[in-house]
């Protein structure tokens, strides 16, 4: 039985050797399984490529894909899933934040058929800036209100899956991928293993606040059209309010014969600005979805491969 371990790597020259030796330990420990390690180099600017090639030259169990440029972690994970031949497939980060030591027990869980997916989840966000944790928590609350599937807070992309799950994920070959949602969407029995937050061993995180913010918007727009409905409701609310206001003025002028002596310039301006803003926002929202349709219909490949290990 073959187990594939997929590692997306972007500028990980320092962490990779550490991860690789940890993975070798796992391979030693789990004797009854064969392993393939799949490293996907996502257009790193450092020596990640040559580190991977050096490892692969010495170890037959290592396969790799080198992208022609940086396509993002989602594309790298997808490439890895495509390439993986294993009956069990795991995705893990290169920086040791996904403890390789968990893998043997994860394999055991699948062997015992207790679940189809074993996924890791951080129970603490220790070592993370508090503001980042706050926004992350808010995001999960928000997205879970809007989408039908449960997207777990603290869930990482680290998970071991059976073949059937991988095949289901590969069916969803959309361009704008939000894996946390895709993993939840395909379903199957998931068992969660919890662990403390681990800080990366070397290098630095590739995420800053704005990247995460954009990722959050991507996640929401990719999985639900609820924001569009919100725009509809808001529009409806204001139209109704305006209608009542018209009736009020009508009665005032026609029946009560009260006329304004002071022209209501400031209030008018406020309303116009406010409603103008809302219209722009709704338009932008519609644009988000149209933009995504545009990108989806082009059906460009998710990544371009520059180099791969030679099959022999
Ligand atoms: N990664 C990638 N492409 C990117 C950014 C990140 O393949 O454009 C990989 C990175 O090498 C690492 C994993 O995705 O293995 C997670 O990245 P990182 O540790 O920076 O994210 P964090 O753990 O801070 O969420
Ligand atoms: Mg990390």
Distances, alpha carbon 259 to alpha carbons 241, 255, 264, 272, in Å:
21, 11, 12, 22
The best mutation among 206, 208, 216 to test binding of ligand 1, ranked by most ligand atoms within 8 Å of the C-beta, falls on 206
Tell me what pLDDT residue 92 has: 92
* pLDDT tens sequence across 200-251: 777 777 778 888 888 888 888 887 888 888 888 888 888 888 888 888 877 8
- Name 250's Cβ contacts closer than 8 Å, sequence gap at least 6: none
- Dihedral angle computed from the Cα positions of residues 158, 161, 167 and 172, in that order, rounded to the nearest 10 degrees: -30
Residues lining ion ligand 2 (Cβ < 5 A) are 93, 95, 97, 200
**Rounded mean pLDDT, 152-162:** 84
Distances, alpha carbon 164 to alpha carbons 59, 161, 187, 288, in Å:
28, 8, 11, 33
Residue 94 near ligand 1, beta carbon < 6 Å: yes
Tell me what pLDDT residue 96 has: 84
Q: What is the mean pLDDT of the chain?
A: 86
Can you tell me which atom of ligand 1 is nearest the CA of 92? 15
CA pair distance 145, 150, nearest whole angstrom = 9
CB 43 within 8 A of CB 69: yes
**Interval between CA 150 and ligand 2 midpoint (Å):** 23
Q: Are strands 62-67 and 155-162 parallel, antiparallel or unpaired?
A: unpaired
Can you tell me which atom of ligand 1 is nearest the CA of 93? 15
Q: Is the pLDDT of residue 145 over 80?
A: yes
Tell me what pLDDT residue 116 has: 92
Q: Is the pLDDT of residue 28 over 80?
A: yes
* pLDDT tens sequence across 15-26: 899 999 999 999
CB 47 within 8 A of CB 287: no
In this prediction the pTM is 0.79
Question: Would you place residue 165 in the very low, low, confident or very high pLDDT band (cuts 50, 70, 90)?
Answer: very high
Question: Would you place residue 312 in the very low, low, confident or very high pLDDT band (cuts 50, 70, 90)?
Answer: low
CB 159 within 8 A of CB 93: no
Selected from 3.60.21.10, 3.90.550.10, 1.10.10.60, 3.30.70.100, the CATH number assigned to the domain covering 2-207+302-308 reads 3.90.550.10
């Amino acid at each position: 039985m073959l187990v594939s371990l997929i590692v997306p790597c972007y500028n990980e020259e320092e962490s990779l050797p550490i991860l690789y030796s940890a993975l070798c330990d796992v391979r030693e420990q789990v004797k009854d399984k064969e392993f393939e390690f799949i490293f996907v180099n996502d257009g790193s600017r450092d020596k990640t490529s040559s580190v991977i090639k050096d490892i692969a030259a010495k170890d037959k169990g290592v396969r790799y894909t080198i992208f022609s440029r940086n396509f993002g972690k989602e594309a790298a994970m997808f490439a890895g899933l495509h390439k993986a031949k294993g009956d069990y497939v795991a995705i893990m980060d290169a920086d040791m934040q996904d403890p390789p030591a968990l893998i043997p027990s994860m394999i055991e869980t699948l062997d015992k058929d207790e679940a189809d997916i074993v996924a890791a989840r951080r129970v603490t966000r220790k070592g993370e800036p508090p503001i980042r944790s706050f926004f992350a928590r808010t995001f999960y609350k928000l997205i879970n209100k809007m989408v039908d599937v449960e997207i777990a807070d603290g869930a990482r992309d680290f998970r071991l899956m059976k073949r059937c799950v991988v095949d289901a994920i590969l069916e969803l070959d959309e361009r704008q991928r939000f894996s946390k949602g895709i993993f939840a969407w395909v379903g199957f029995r998931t068992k969660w293993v919890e662990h403390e937050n681990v800080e990366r061993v070397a290098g630095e995180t590739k995420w800053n606040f704005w990247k995460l913010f954009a990722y959050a918007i991507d996640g929401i727009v990719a999985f639900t059209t609820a924001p569009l409905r919100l725009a509809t409701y808001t529009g409806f609310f204001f139209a109704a309010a305006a209608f009542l206001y018209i009736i009020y003025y009508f009665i005032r002028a026609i029946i009560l014969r009260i006329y304004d002596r002071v022209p209501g310039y400031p209030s008018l301006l406020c309303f116009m600005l406010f409603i103008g803003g809302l219209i722009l926002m709704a338009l932008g929202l519609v644009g988000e979805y149209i933009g995504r349709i545009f990108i989806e219909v082009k059906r460009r490949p998710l990544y371009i491969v520059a180099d791969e290990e030679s099959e022999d």
